Structure 1
Amino acid sequence: MKTEYHSIWLMPCATQERMLSGIVRDLAGRFESPIFQPHLTLVEDMPRTCEELQPLLAQVAEDASAFDAPVETVEESGLYYRSFYARFPVVQPLRVMKTKAVEVFRVGNVESFMPHISLAYGVQEGPEKSRSMGDLRERLAGMSVRFDRICIVSSSQQTPIEEWAIRSSVPLPE
């Protein structure tokens, strides 16, 4: 039997998710990189079923509400899944949610938490990437993202990106 892997994602509100998805699609077309749903990962790659995770997700979402986080900058790295991303400061609601997720799921740690929404995977270094990053830094400067739901997602580094899918979602009240 194949092991199921799931992650926990915070999702931007629908309007911002559509806008960020447009950026992902645009960059994917320019850099021949995969298309994926923009998200902020709270916990990644847990070898547990969705059914096991649902009551734990409810605990993490308990007493939480929708919140805004400002885009700090657009950055790059040599890591495939973080080659091009919008970075967020660890604002209080993010810190609280990450702390609770670490306690409930017993995975990860708060100290190394670097909240971000990836915009492209696997983009090679070069002048076009630098230009695109500069354009997006200007476009996203001063923007806040509203996170309004937390999800269990069948995703992992062992799961093909095109198979990633939200399996369960809990709305965060306004």
Structure 2
Amino acid sequence: MTDDTALYSVWLAPDEPVLSELQVLVQEFARVRSAPSFLPHLTLLGDLPDSQARLAQILSQHAPRIPAQELTVTGVTVGDSFFKSLYLQLSCPPQLSAVQSVLARALPATANPGRFDPHVSMIYGAVGASTQQEIHVTLQRFIGSTLRFERMQLVRSSQNTPVIDWQVLKEFALPDRSESAY
């Protein structure tokens, strides 16, 4: 896949030590269910058909003004789509919605990004009821906790790109709220 035809996503990555804890769980759930493993993340925008260089330039301009995000885990949710089969539901404060909207407007390919639903997926693909229950119980401890996101990532990924081929290409540090403009 060439740079001109690739699809990209913009993610927020959870900070340590939570990132490592979530990664271990994602890997274990994937191993047990023969599902793809992936890096835990919150997708701000996905399936962006643009050049890597242009996206990186836009994100590097916006990142210094986007504050680090502290989001509360509000529940463990089961969904019916491949990428949202079981996930940690996150709060969506107005500032996070504003960040997502600003980035969507800055990237013409996302003129209509769809409904924003902040979450961190824990497994992809169809999951049987007994596995859902088992994973749900394992993830209950996160409900009410705060996840901090201090890094934005440009990722080669899309709904049609095999998960094994996803690749973090560039990372942007997000400032503390007091240093941000949004």
How do residues 93-104 of structure 1 correspond to structure 2 at under 5 angstroms?
Answer: 93-104=95-106
Secondary structure in 1 matching 2:36:
coil
Where do 5+ consecutive residues of structure 1 fail to align? none
Secondary structure in 1 matching 2:17:
helix
Change (3 A) 1:48 1:111: closer
Say which of 27, 30, 54 aligns to 1:28.
30
Say which of 15, 18, 24 aligns to 1:16.
18
Pairing 1:125–2:135 present: no
Tell me the amino acid that sits aligned with residue 30 of structure 2: A
How far residue 60 of structure 1 moved from its aligned partner, in angstroms, is 3.0
Change (3 A) 1:127 1:108: farther
Say which of 112, 116, 119 aligns to 2:119.
116
What do residues 44-88 of structure 1 show as CA deviations (whole Å, max 9, x unaligned)?
011112101012112332322212100011101110010010111
1:146 corresponds to: 148
Change (3 A) 1:101 1:77: same
CA contact (8 A) 1:153 1:165 kept: yes
Change (3 A) 1:29 1:111: closer
Secondary structure in 2 matching 1:8:
strand
Give the TM-score of the pair, scaled to structure 1.
Answer: 0.91
Where do 5+ consecutive residues of structure 2 fail to align? 177-182
1:157 corresponds to: 159
The separation in 1 between residues aligned to 2:126 and 2:95, in whole angstroms, is: 31
The separation in 2 between residues aligned to 1:120 and 1:165, in whole angstroms, is: 18
Tell me the amino acid that sits aligned with residue 97 of structure 1: V
Secondary structure in 1 matching 2:87:
strand
Change (3 A) 1:108 1:25: farther
What do residues 111-143 of structure 1 show as CA deviations (whole Å, max 9, x unaligned)?
71100111000032322222321331x211221
CA contact (8 A) 1:10 1:151 kept: yes
The separation in 1 between residues aligned to 2:31 and 2:141, in whole angstroms, is: 19
1:72 corresponds to: 74
CA contact (8 A) 1:60 1:97 kept: no
How far residue 160 of structure 1 moved from its aligned partner, in angstroms, is 1.4
The separation in 2 between residues aligned to 1:119 and 1:159, in whole angstroms, is: 18
Give the TM-score of the pair, scaled to structure 2.
Answer: 0.88
